[in-house]
């Protein structure tokens, strides 16, 4: 009974915080699907990562808040996508996603060869300006296991970035403090000319999440 009561208290606390969260309210007001959009928005505005982006890949895009931001940022969904030089955003996720104006969505695992082929076809052979990743694996609650899963997932995303980004391209990836975190920081440092961890204001203070930012590939 004590465990049930504790869990109920935690759930009520989360619900209270969620309903009173200013970013939740702002997302509802501005028509975004999730408060997570303000994490990418702050990162973009603080570091000016997407000002010149024309080709963007969003890994782990469902439910679509980041895609919504990218759609608005690149002014997609207005009948201009037919041009081979027009901006393009491709979102990939294992989960389904409701359509977002101008976004090419692929449901599947980006590590799968068939899904990767679809992605490459969607960007039309063009080099990518930015890879953004809000991916997270299904967590088991076991710190070492979850750390290994997160590390593997981000390593795959970085490998994709290395093979598809422009030399001056950028990458943003969500990671978590804990086992494997230092390895991922080192991976970004070795992969990009400039890299840093960043925790946006929209990321809850009690959350262990942090975003790694990489700019300019080392060749």
Residues belonging to the active site: 174
Cα pseudo-dihedral 162, 168, 169, 174, rounded to 10:
80
Residue burial 15-46, b: 16+ Cβ < 10 Å; e: rest: eeeeeeeebbeebeeeebbbbbbbbbbbbbee
H runs (alpha helix) in the chain: 2-19, 22-30, 37-47, 65-73, 113-122, 143-164, 181-191
Between CA 126 and CA 136, with CA 130 as vertex, the angle to 5 degrees is 120
Nearest by Cα to 54 from 132, 168, 161, 130: 130
Annotated binding site: 64, 66, 93, 109, 134
Q: Do residues 153 and 137 make contact, with C-beta atoms less than 8 angstroms apart?
A: yes
Q: Do residues 28 and 21 make contact, with C-beta atoms less than 8 angstroms apart?
A: no
Annotated binding site for S-adenosyl-L-methionine: 64, 66, 93, 109, 134
């Amino acid at each position: 009974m004590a465990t049930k009561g504790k869990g109920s208290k935690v759930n009520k606390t989360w619900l209270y915080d969620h309903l009173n969260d200013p970013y939740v309210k702002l997302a509802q007001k501005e028509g975004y699907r999730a408060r997570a959009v303000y994490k990418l928005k702050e990162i973009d505005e603080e570091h000016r990562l997407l000002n010149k982006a024309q080709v963007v890949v969003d890994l782990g895009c469902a439910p679509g808040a980041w895609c919504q931001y990218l759609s608005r940022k690149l002014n997609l969904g207005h009948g201009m996508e037919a041009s081979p030089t027009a901006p393009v955003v491709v979102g990939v996720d294992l989960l389904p996603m409701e359509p977002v104006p101008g976004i090419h969505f692929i449901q599947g695992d980006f590590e799968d060869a068939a899904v990767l082929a679809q992605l490459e076809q969607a960007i039309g052979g063009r080099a990518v300006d930015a890879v953004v990743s809000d991916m997270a694996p299904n967590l088991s609650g076991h710190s070492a296991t979850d750390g290994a899963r997160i590390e593997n997932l981000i390593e795959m995303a970085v490998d994709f970035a290395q093979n598809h980004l422009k030399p001056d391209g950028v990458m943003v990836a969500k990671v978590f403090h804990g086992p494997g975190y230092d390895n991922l920081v080192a991976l970004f440092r070795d992969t990009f000319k400039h890299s840093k961890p960043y925790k946006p204001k929209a990321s809850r203070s009690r959350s262990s999440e942090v975003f790694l930012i990489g700019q300019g590939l080392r060749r």
